[in-house]
């Protein structure tokens, strides 16, 4: 394998701060990856994306293989040139996207109809590896089977054995020397199956290890329970990646259990409906209370949106249906989550992680599984320990936009 240069810098309990190097740059953990499913982060240009502090970006193998096709991306020189993004990138394998579709699963792979136009589609370990090598991201993911919440144990055991065989085939088919390959731990919601999977995947041997099969409707407490049963059996000298998780409370509790990397779509999906995140919790910019509010989204945020625009202006943009509203809100959410992860990293480095963790629980308490972001307004507890540069920015002015 092509080892990822992974360096552990500090720990507080299981929480870790680390760095690792990839062909397009070095990343610092813990980190969150914005999702560019179709080869773009929706409503955010590459120029603004770089300014948000994004370290690494995720793109989707399944969708890009359908439109425009991996051969066209490869003709451009790979995803980095196709998207004009000069930063590390990761492609998922396509397994998660097909788990909820009507499909035929065999030992060979998965056959299904592409949901956009009904085109017959086939994915297998070999096909997924061929696509990802053509796309050319820094990190590729093995092809696995993601199970829905509520599946019975017998089905989970059969799926797990097949997933392990698919992961071995993925490794055998992966030949690109400048691309890391991560394995994926599955096993549903049974601790012994998760342990079995972690050991089997590490026996195959990969550059990093992910935890799949979560964020499928199980809720925060069950997610934490599965992580408690899984991460103790995962390699301590490789990156650990929790797939598809991105709420603030889930992030900090994942880090508390030894996770280094996360990805999620809520930062941009919620932004498009006017829901934005900050150090005092969430607010919904479409609420009438913000129509004459002269504050930025968050006075301690250093993003382009908060440094230039008021809540009143953003409320106006959403009210009139201006596309700029989604762009500015998305820029803020992506940038704020990077500031949030940077603060979490700083708390691990200086030994104050448990205080930071508690402040997150106060500002973002657990809620129902499909909770809609509430209209919380300005009130609420302030998260602890934002990065030093954020503190300095907040002290320069606490009223209006600078």
Q: Which residues are catalytic?
A: 92, 263
Cis peptide before 173 (omega within 30 of 0): no
| 83 to 52, 78, 135, 299: CA distances (angstroms) | 17, 9, 11, 32
56, 36 contact by CB (below 8 A): no
Tokens of 3: 């080892």
Tokens of 234: 């995962």
277, 329 contact by CB (below 8 A): no
Beta-strand pair 15-22/5-12: antiparallel
Rounded-to-integer distance, Cα 170 and Cα 298, Å: 44
Q: Counting runs of H as helices and runs of E as strands, what totals does the chain give? A: 16, 17
Spell 71-99 as b/e; 16+ CB within 10 A means b.
eebbeeebbbebbebebbbbbbbbbbbbb
171, 93 contact by CB (below 8 A): no
Beta-strand pair 15-22/25-29: antiparallel
Rounded-to-integer distance, Cα 78 and Cα 37, Å: 15
């Amino acid at each position: 394998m092509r080892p990822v240069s992974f360096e552990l810098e500090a720990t507080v309990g299981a929480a870790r701060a680390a760095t690792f190097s990839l062909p397009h740059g070095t990343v610092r953990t813990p980190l969150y990856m914005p999702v560019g499913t179709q080869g773009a982060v929706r409503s955010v240009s590459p120029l603004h994306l770089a300014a948000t502090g994004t370290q690494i970006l995720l793109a989707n193998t399944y969708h890009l293989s359908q439109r425009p096709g991996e051969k066209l991306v490869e003709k451009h020189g790979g995803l980095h040139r196709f998207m004009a993004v000069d930063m590390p990138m990761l492609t998922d394998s396509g397994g998660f996207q097909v788990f909820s579709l009507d499909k035929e699963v065999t030992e060979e792979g998965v056959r299904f109809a592409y949901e956009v136009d009904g085109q017959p589609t086939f994915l297998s370990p070999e096909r997924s590896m061929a696509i990802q090598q053509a796309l050319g991201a820094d990190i590729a993911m093995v092809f696995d089977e993601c199970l829905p919440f509520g599946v019975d144990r017998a089905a989970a055991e059969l799926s797990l054995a097949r997933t392990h065989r698919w992961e071995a085939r993925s490794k055998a088919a992966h030949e690109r020397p400048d691309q890391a390959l991560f394995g994926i731990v599955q096993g549903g919601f049974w601790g012994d199956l998760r342990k079995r999977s972690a050991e089997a995947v590490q026996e195959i041997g990969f550059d990093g290890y992910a935890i799949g099969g979560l964020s499928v409707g199980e809720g925060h407490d069950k997610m934490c329970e599965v992580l408690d049963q899984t991460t103790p059996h995962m390699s301590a000298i490789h990156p650990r990646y929790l797939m598809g998780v991105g709420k603030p409370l889930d992030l900090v509790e994942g880090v508390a259990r030894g996770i280094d990397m996360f990805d999620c779509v809520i930062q941009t999906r919620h932004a498009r409906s006017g829901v934005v995140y900050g150090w005092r919790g969430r607010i919904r910019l479409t609420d009438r209370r913000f129509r004459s509010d002269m504050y930025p989204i968050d006075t301690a945020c250093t993003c382009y949106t908060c440094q230039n625009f008021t809540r009143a202006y953003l409320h106006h943009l959403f009210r009139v249906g201006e596309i700029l509203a989604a762009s500015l809100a998305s820029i803020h959410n992506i940038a704020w989550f990077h500031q949030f992860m940077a603060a979490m990293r700083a708390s691990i480095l200086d030994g104050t992680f448990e205080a930071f963790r508690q402040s997150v629980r106060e500002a973002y308490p657990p809620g129902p599984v499909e909770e809609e972001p509430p209209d919380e307004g300005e009130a609420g507890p302030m998260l602890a320990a934002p990065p030093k540069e954020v503190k300095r920015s907040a002290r320069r002015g606490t009223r209006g936009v600078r």
